[in-house]
Structure 1
Amino acid sequence: MSEASAAVSPVFTRRIMGIEVEYGIFTSATPEQRKLTPDEVARVLFRPIIDEYSSSNIFSPNASRLYLDVGSHPEVATAECDSLTQLINYERAGDRVMDGLARKAEQALEAEGCARSVYLFKNNVDSAGNSYGCHENYLISRHMILKNLGVALLPFMITRQLICGAGMIAPAKGNEPAKFLLSQRADQVWEGVSSATTRSRPIINTRDEPHGDSKRFRRMHVIVGDSSMAEPTSALKVGSTLLVLEMLEAGFDVPRFAVDKPISRIRDIARDATGRTPLHLEDGSTVTALEVQAAFCAQAKRWLEQREDAGTPTAELRRVVDLWERVLAAIESQDFSKVDREIDWIIKRGLVERYRDKLGGDWGHPKLAQIDLTYHDIRAGRGLYDILLRRGMIARWTQDEAIEHAINHAPDTTRAALRGKFLAAAHRLNANVTVDWTRLKVNRPEPLTEEFLDPFDAEDPRLDELLAYMEKFHS
């Protein structure tokens, strides 16, 4: 019996994970054209979705959720994934689905006589300073007290930006000049662990929405992470967190740092690419941000020697630890040549520094802000990230074929497979259905609903009954 179904084992080596990505939206305009508001652009962007589904909140063919979030931000929440590369594939598939909608929106605007480009940015802060998120979700055992888990994770989370931040140029503010930050989200969080999401953004959200059997599962909702463009950055962001969660659930010895005022420290760390930001501990001692990450990395390497090889393959997590070690070594030595194709903030900083030298200005030059933003444009052939990728200046973690497959196919190893089959049948039969994370419902002629509370189950005979009912009345 696997740990997923064994009541005696709360350690999820095979773990359900998901990522929610919000996109910034913008359109170009000629001097003669009226600028469209984000809400107006979003309405055009979602027009094909509304025409087909009569809703702007749907589950797409690959079992991911696609919707328009607060603030006119398009958002994709990936289907349930149970391994690291699988999750990266579905996150990147979301980018391509969104870009497809943007291309259709451009065609619609042109047909209406107001041609313009539609831009979707996979970043976290717009020009007005508004922030939008990239949230990570990790299934954990119900026996774990989330607040206690969050406290144990806080030192890791506030320093994680060193290894996987997206980087950004923060504009001048008051007497503070423009400067380069490691993270786009570090200045946007105000609490460590909280049930709030927008009112006072926490690092870890404790709202109890397991999307599964609440007697067995909890969902840890991480809000502090940046949106990642480079695949290795995504792998290190999620992979390192996955390893720390595994160690905590297994009772493995994890470094403990009782950091005093961790939220103020997260801002300091974002401004120090040397990793030498001192963190004052409650016992009066001091440790640097880099030392905290190094301690977690060293323990993760030891954990791999006894980890059950399930879910994300241990061999792949060794790749994660190798990259983790190389990034820490690069920060320590300030020689980034061995990781300057893998980590977003390092890639971006190197790029804008070269332009800054040419321009002879400071970080506040408007050309640098344009480069910063263009790095996050998801359009292939237009976005700066994609141009660098095609030139071999950014490394890969997965392959295009796997991402393309993920666009229209649900993960076949998790509950998402059930949802994907249900959605495919409903589309083929033009059946009226309702879908959420746990429930599948055939609405007509008489409502028939089944609830699937185990996100590890990729097969269930009750799905066959729903499909047969659908076939009977809609074929």
Structure 2
Amino acid sequence: MDHRVYGVETEFGLTHRPETGRGLPPDELARYLFRPVVEFGRSSNIFIPNGSRLYLDVGSHPEYATAECDDLIDLIASDRAGERVMHDLAVEAEERIHRDGFTGQVYVLKNNVDSAGNSYGSHENYLIPRTTHFRRLSGILLPFLVTRQIISGAGRVVPAEDSREAHFAFSQRADHMWEGISSATTRSRPIINTRDEPHADAANHRRLHVIVGDSNMSTATSLLRYGSTDLVLRMIEAGVPIEDFELENPIAAIRAISHDITGRAGVRTRNGEQVTAVQIQRGIFQRVSRFISEHGAHHEHVDQILELWERALEAVESGDHSLIDQDIDWAIKKRLVEDVSNQRGLGMDHPRLEQIDMAYHDVNPDRGLFHLLVRRGRATDFVTDEQVTRAMTTPPPTRAAIRGEFLSTARVYGAECTVDWVHHKLTDRPLEAIMVKDPFAQHDERIESLLDRLGDRKNHLRERSLHERIQQGVTLALTDKYSLAPGTVVPEPPLI
């Protein structure tokens, strides 16, 4: 597929830490967090004018699903915009909580496991051709996804348990996967979900739904995670032969690999061979590199993805994690944890290190440790603040642009409407619901005609740009809502 759309759904951890006593329970805290959402959209499940979806998922987890994107940097900026939206909601929730007589702070964490061991996900979506042979795809893709954690895992301080000592692992998500392939998501947590829900023309497309990935703070890690997967998919779609790495037991393998930070844990393939995660990744990487040299790069980020991929494999294979400890989440976090451990003489089982693990994923830009590392030059960032700010209010140039304009224009005219990934409907014109099945479409004359009936829309648009209408009509998207007065200096929290 020369052209692809991507999306990522991120579930966030949510907690309240009062000055004394126990914090608010998750369901009550979620109601505080989503009160502006319900006031805005009369529901806790809405689309916002940047084309993305905002909702509460199972277990009172706030979730943000990016708009469909056809560029990886747009995808990463949209994902980061979701962090900003969640942070804005947390700030307002904290203010409401204080007005109601409670104390303390509200934390939104972009991670995958809480202190009680519960897991929540980061789900990737890739549009693939309907003609793709799914059995062949899964046979190649499963070994890649099982081992992908060594190049894109978030890292985790694993507490001591039974006979296992506390240690550092590649992935937060690996221990919580239960099947290789399944149509379920919450009950069995498969690596690949087979539910056939393309949100596009089902005759031509299907949606590959991957739920094994860790939530990433580092945009470099995100680029490698999505970009490497996209490259593997392109080889599969092109029918390129790839070495057989199909695993005998993918679930046992994913856990064994996660807990061996050396990358040398042996896992068994179906043909009885013992291989390591590095060997599998190296074999796939070499085939991808040949594929690119023979067919050319399909977008401008390919060289950067291949360089990151090769460097990450070298770091794991050699044990020199300094090669990637500013780019790849698990290595950035591992360096931070080891610095604190060495400076304070703490063992890996010390609660302080688990706290640092959590604080790394805090989306608060002034408090979160990842953001602090970026400011101190200890972590790279591949997207700019300007790109993220724009992504909060401006849809990417895909079908999301149609959805965003539909929502914004209807709101400006006070017209109630409902949308989902495909459907667009004005509430008072239910028989005129319009389906846009092409995820690459940026304009639709049927939508334009429907909106034109709301009033003298063309003159109105000449007076106020789409961006201005969004800013006036959607409080969730205001990027300056909680900005500081000019000249205000925010003190940085200490690392240790």
- Fold conserved (TM > 0.5)? yes
Under TM normalisation by the shorter chain, which class is it?
over 0.9
Say whether the 8 Å CA contact 2:168–2:261 is kept in structure 1: no
Deviation at 1:223, TM superposition (A): 0.5
Say whether the 8 Å CA contact 1:13–1:308 is kept in structure 2: no
* Mapping of residues 14-413 of structure 1, within 5 Å: 14-31=3-20, 34-307=22-295, 310=298, 313=299, 315-412=300-397
Say whether the 8 Å CA contact 2:112–2:215 is kept in structure 1: yes
Task: State how far apart, in whole Å, the 2-side matches of 1:90 and 1:340 are.
Answer: 24
Q: TM-score, normalised by structure 2?
A: 0.90
| Secondary structure of 1:329 counterpart | helix
Residue 439 (str. 1) matches residue 427 (str. 2) = no
Measured against aligned partners, the alpha-carbon deviations of 1:57-82 in whole angstroms (never above 9, x if no partner) come to: 00011010000111000000000001
Q: Which residue of 2 aligns with 1:453?
A: 437
Measured against aligned partners, the alpha-carbon deviations of 1:226-260 in whole angstroms (never above 9, x if no partner) come to: 00001100011100000000110011232321221
Task: State how far apart, in whole Å, the 2-side matches of 1:167 and 1:251 are.
Answer: 34
Deviation at 1:30, TM superposition (A): 1.9
Q: Which of 416, 422, 427 does residue 411 from structure 2 map onto?
A: 427
**Which amino acid in structure 2 is aligned with residue 28 of structure 1?**
R
Deviation at 1:276, TM superposition (A): 1.3
Say whether the 8 Å CA contact 1:442–1:470 is kept in structure 2: no
Aligned Cα root-mean-square deviation (Å): 1.5
Task: State how far apart, in whole Å, the 2-side matches of 1:447 and 1:172 are.
Answer: 60
| Secondary structure of 1:304 counterpart | helix
Task: State how far apart, in whole Å, the 1-side matches of 2:263 and 2:355 are.
Answer: 27
Deviation at 1:203, TM superposition (A): 0.3
Tell me whether 111-120 or 324-333 shows the greater mean CA deviation.
111-120
Q: Which residue of 1 aligns with 2:475?
A: none
Aligned length: 458
Say whether the 8 Å CA contact 1:146–1:206 is kept in structure 2: no
**Which amino acid in structure 2 is aligned with residue 330 of structure 1?**
A
Task: State how far apart, in whole Å, the 2-side matches of 1:445 and 1:153 are.
Answer: 45
Say whether the 8 Å CA contact 1:147–1:193 is kept in structure 2: no
Q: Which residue of 2 aligns with 1:469?
A: 453
**Which amino acid in structure 1 is aligned with residue 33 of structure 2?**
L
Say whether the 8 Å CA contact 1:63–1:410 is kept in structure 2: yes
Deviation at 1:204, TM superposition (A): 0.3
Say whether the 8 Å CA contact 2:8–2:65 is kept in structure 1: yes
Say whether the 8 Å CA contact 1:415–1:459 is kept in structure 2: yes
Say whether the 8 Å CA contact 2:127–2:207 is kept in structure 1: yes
**Which amino acid in structure 2 is aligned with residue 326 of structure 1?**
R
| Secondary structure of 1:239 counterpart | helix
| Secondary structure of 1:74 counterpart | strand
Measured against aligned partners, the alpha-carbon deviations of 1:244-282 in whole angstroms (never above 9, x if no partner) come to: 001100112323212211210110100112211212222
Gaps of 5+ in 1: 1-11
| Secondary structure of 1:105 counterpart | helix
| Secondary structure of 1:125 counterpart | coil
Cα distance, 1:326–1:168 mapped onto 2, change above 3 Å: same
Task: State how far apart, in whole Å, the 2-side matches of 1:48 and 1:331 are.
Answer: 45
Q: Which residue of 1 aligns with 2:489?
A: none
